[in-house]
């Protein structure tokens, strides 16, 4: 310690963490600090004698701190000393002493000759580096030996790195993925962005995710399944740097799982659902029917003479018949229908979401069962023999109620026995009354097609009069003069025509007839100002080319569009309102008028009412019927009239049957009327 109480320079240098030795131009030690002695483990007496650097090296070599050939060591020391002098660049090196200390040495040239050598203990740093290297080695052997590969994403979740033998051997994966987010790459099992929501949510919350399975099509045409697990990489402030994780090819496992699934749930002969899978599906259909409030049907199919085929041609022929039956069922039915084989020659079909009404569902089920029957009754060629395996089909309808699956199956099975009893190759319902009605509906639909061809449909017209009883127009009403059944009410056949789609052809026919009538009236001074109202069905209006169709009929017939009035019901407006408004506006632009039929019975939103290009409201006849006796009906009629007045619409009171009804409605301000009081529908 210096007298002043402050450290001398020499004392200060001894306190440094770095050791140093100063050499003169000949390489003699002319200065050093105590740290150098400690780090180099040299006795002070040795350095105090100003040894040459060669002696220091010899000493270190003798102690085992420096290893290798001594002459070579000395040569190298002097080589570096000279080089440092020439280049003025320090020479940095490191070595580990015999005692296990790692030192970093640096040699620098001094101005005017000589050198200074510094020594720093970097043992800890060297140990950390060694540990890091070892861990890298471990990681590398892991990715080299394991089936997994390593990946990294940046903070935007784009792949930035892949490592591992798998990736090297199958570089397709990395090539395809680098620079892309996993959800931007094409995937077979998760094609929509929404499918990735759970993974993206986990990433947004910086969560670890495990075993995320994705199926990809590789550029070489193969498809492969990968499983990804990942964890976030965060900086010291908790900001996301990216994700890192492992990936694994799980294609083989997936294939094995699919095979196990196939064996457990599918019939090995036909590939259809087996009994246990079918029961599962039946339960699902029942739950779906409960949610949707619809009816479903179970068809039990038994091949009529399968045993004879088996006996006559052998089991392989029998198997071929069963496989062909399965194929025919698949071709005849829709993808949403569920087909199974219970065993032997027993097949089952589940038809879901048939209709909300039981009778309507029965009609559809009857149609489908007939289609199945027709498909299966066709002869088959099996092992060069022509065989016929006609089916007996039993149908049980069910809804979302509590009925047990065994009971539904039992009902269908019983109905199937009814088919057998009825002479085979037949369809029977569990409920005979339902069967009858379903058959009636199916027959009417068939006959309707024939009647359309034969011209059995007629158009009637019912007058629409003003307050003075003067006819202002007609409503066109369709009639079916059935060749054997006589007149069939539109109340009966219009819904059937809607269901089967015949309404499109019928509607077109009515429109053509109505336009022809308008053209004929034009020549008649008493009728030339009349309008003709035509009822539109929901299905007609939903046709994308409906506007074009009406325009074509008008052009072709030459009828004045302003005399044509199309009647819609409120319920028709509820379906795709914007589309309906668009079509109405397009026709209104031509001059065609629109009336809202049965007004008051539906759920018209006043907001829509305002937007629709309507000319007329028709008060439903249910309000007119009791307008004299029921104050509520009278109030409704009055309200409709007031509403129409404020919306600047005409009003027709429908179903006026008596002079009293006429008077009351006229007193309320109604100006147009329709009903038996003025005339029943007559041939136009």
User: Which residue ranges make up the site for ligand LFPHGCPZ (CB under 6 A)?
Assistant: 462, 475, 477-478, 489-491, 494, 507, 510, 535, 537, 597-598, 621, 654-655, 657, 674-676, 681
Walk across the sheet containing 391-398 and list its strands. Answer: 338-343, 346-355, 295-303, 391-398, 427-429
Beta carbon nearer to ligand LFPHGCPZ, 103 or 653: 653
The CB-of-652 to ligand LFPHGCPZ minimum distance in angstroms stands at: 8
> Closer to ligand LFPHGCPZ at the Cβ: 434 or 477?
477
Question: Nearest distance from residue 568's CB to ligand LFPHGCPZ, in Å?
Answer: 10
Find the helix packing angle between 358-376 and 315-332, rounded to 10°: 140
To ligand LFPHGCPZ, the closest distance from the beta carbon of 512 in angstroms equals: 12
Comparing CB distances to ligand LFPHGCPZ, the nearer of 101 and 625 is: 625
CB 542, min distance to ligand LFPHGCPZ, A: 13
Whole-number minimum distance, CB 461 to ligand LFPHGCPZ, in Å? 10
- Nearer Cβ to ligand LFPHGCPZ (251/472): 472
Tokens for 395? 């149908």
CB 661 within 8 A of CB 624: yes
CA distance 483 to 401: 42
Cβ contacts of 449 within 8 Å, gap of 6 or more: 502
Contact 504, 545 (CB under 8 A): no
Cβ closer to ligand LFPHGCPZ: 395 or 510?
Answer: 510
**Please, which residue, 585 or 657, has the CB nearer to ligand LFPHGCPZ?**
657
Q: Which residues contact 484 (CB under 8 A, 6 or more apart)?
A: none
CB 271 to ligand LFPHGCPZ: min, Å? 45
Residue ranges of E strands in 75-133: 91-96, 102-109, 115-121
CA separation for the pair 113, 395 (Å, rounded):
112
Q: Largest alpha-carbon pair distance within the chain?
A: 144
Shorter beta-carbon distance to ligand LFPHGCPZ: residue 336 or 489:
489
Q: What minimum distance in Å lies between the beta carbon of 595 and ligand LFPHGCPZ?
A: 9
User: Which element (helix H / strand E) includes 178?
Assistant: none
Count CB atoms within 10 A of the CB of residue 341.
Answer: 24
In this complex, which beta carbon is closest to ligand LFPHGCPZ, that of residue 427 or of residue 515? 515
| Cα dist from 355 to 51, 365, 427, 637, whole Å | 109, 10, 20, 34
CB of 659 to ligand LFPHGCPZ, least distance (A): 13
* Residue 8 DSSP label: P
For residue 592, which of 569, 571, 614 has the smallest C-alpha distance? 614
Tokens 């018209």, located at residue: 604
Give how far the C-alpha of residue 229 lies from the chain's centroid of Cα atoms, to the nearest Å: 24
Find the shortest distance in angstroms from Cβ 586 to ligand LFPHGCPZ. 20
Q: Which is nearer to ligand LFPHGCPZ, 418 or 597 (CB)?
A: 597
Contact at 8 Å (CB) between 389 and 341? no
Q: Cβ contacts of residue 467 below 8 Å, gap of 6+? A: 666, 670, 671, 672, 673
Sequence-ordered alpha helix ranges (H) in 191-314: 197-204, 251-265, 275-292, 306-313
- Residue whose CB is less far from ligand LFPHGCPZ, 447 or 598: 598
**Minimum distance of ligand LFPHGCPZ from residue 468's CB (angstroms):** 19
């Amino acid at each position: 310690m210096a007298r002043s109480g402050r450290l001398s320079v020499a004392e200060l240098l001894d306190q440094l963490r770095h050791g140093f030795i100063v050499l003169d131009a000949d390489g003699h030690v002319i200065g050093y600090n105590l740290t150098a002695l400690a780090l180099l483990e040299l006795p002070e007496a040795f350095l105090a004698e100003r040894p040459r650097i060669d002696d220091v090296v010899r000493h270190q070599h003798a102690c085992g701190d420096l290893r290798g050939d001594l002459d070579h060591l000395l040569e190298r020391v002097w080589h570096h000393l000279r080089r440092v002098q020439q280049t003025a660049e320090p020479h940095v090196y490191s070595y580990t002493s015999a005692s296990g200390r790692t030192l970093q040495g640096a040699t620098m040239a001094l101005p005017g000759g000589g050198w200074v050598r510094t020594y720093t203990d970097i043992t800890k740093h060297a140990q950390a580096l060694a540990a890091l290297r070892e861990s890298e080695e471990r990681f590398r052997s892991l990715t080299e030996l394991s089936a997994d590969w390593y990946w990294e994403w940046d903070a935007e979740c784009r792949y930035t790195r892949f490592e591992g033998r798998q990736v090297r051997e199958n570089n397709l994966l990395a090539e395809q993925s680098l620079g892309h987010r996993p959800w931007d790459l094409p995937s077979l099992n998760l094609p929509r962005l929404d499918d990735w929501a759970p993974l993206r949510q986990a990433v947004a919350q910086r969560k670890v995710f495990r075993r995320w399975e994705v199926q990809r099509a590789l550029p070489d045409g193969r498809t492969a399944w990968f499983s990804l697990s990942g964890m976030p990489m965060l900086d010291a402030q908790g900001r996301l740097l990216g994700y890192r994780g492992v990936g694994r090819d799980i294609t083989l496992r997936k294939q094995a799982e699919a095979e196990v699934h196939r064996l457990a749930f599918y019939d090995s002969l036909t590939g259809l659902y087996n009994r246990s899978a079918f029961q599962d599906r039946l339960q699902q259909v029942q739950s779906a029917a409960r949610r949707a409030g619809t009816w479903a049907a179970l068809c039990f199919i038994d091949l009529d003479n399968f045993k004879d085929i088996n006996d006559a041609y052998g089991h392989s022929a029998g198997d071929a018949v069963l496989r062909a039956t399965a194929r025919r069922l698949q071709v005849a039915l829709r993808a949403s229908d569920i087909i199974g084989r219970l065993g032997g020659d027993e097949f089952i079909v589940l038809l879901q979401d048939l209709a909300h009404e039981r009778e309507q569902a029965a009609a559809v089920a009857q149609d489908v069962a007939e289609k199945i029957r027709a498909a299966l009754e066709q002869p088959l060629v099996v092992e060069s023999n022509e065989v016929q395996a006609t089916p007996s089909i039993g149908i049980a309808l069910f809804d979302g109620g509590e009925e047990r699956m065994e009971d539904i199956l039992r009902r269908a099975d019983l109905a199937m026995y009814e088919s057998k009893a009825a002479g085979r190759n037949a369809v029977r319902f569990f409920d005979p009354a339902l069967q009858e009605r379903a058959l009636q509906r199916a027959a009417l639909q068939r006959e309707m097609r024939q009647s359309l061809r034969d011209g059995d449909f007629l158009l009637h017209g019912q007058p629409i009069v003003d307050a003075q009883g003067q006819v202002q127009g007609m409503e066109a009403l369709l009639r079916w003069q059935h060749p054997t059944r006589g007149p069939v009410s539109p109340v009966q056949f219009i819904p059937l025509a809607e269901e089967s789609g015949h309404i499109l052809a019928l509607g077109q026919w009515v429109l053509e007839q109505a336009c022809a009538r308008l053209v004929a009236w034009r020549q008649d001074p008493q009728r030339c100002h009349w309008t003709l109202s035509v009822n539109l069905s929901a299905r007609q209006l939903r046709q994308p080319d409906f506007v074009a169709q009406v325009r074509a009929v008008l052009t072709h017939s030459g009828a004045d569009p302003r005399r044509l009035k199309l009647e819609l019901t409120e319920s028709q407006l509820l379906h795709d309102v914007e589309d309906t408004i668009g079509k109405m506006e397009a026709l209104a632009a031509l001059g065609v008028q629109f009336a809202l039929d049965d007004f008051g019975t539906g759920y018209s939103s006043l907001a829509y009412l305002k937007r629709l290009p309507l000319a007329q409201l028709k008060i439903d006849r249910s309000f007119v019927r009791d307008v004299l006796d029921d104050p509520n009906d009278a109030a409704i009629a009055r309200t409709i009239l007031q509403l129409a007045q404020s919306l600047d619409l005409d009003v027709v009171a429908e179903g006026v049957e008596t002079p009293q009804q006429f008077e009351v409605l006229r007193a309320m301000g109604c100006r147009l009327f329709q009903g038996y009081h003025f005339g029943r529908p007559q041939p136009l």
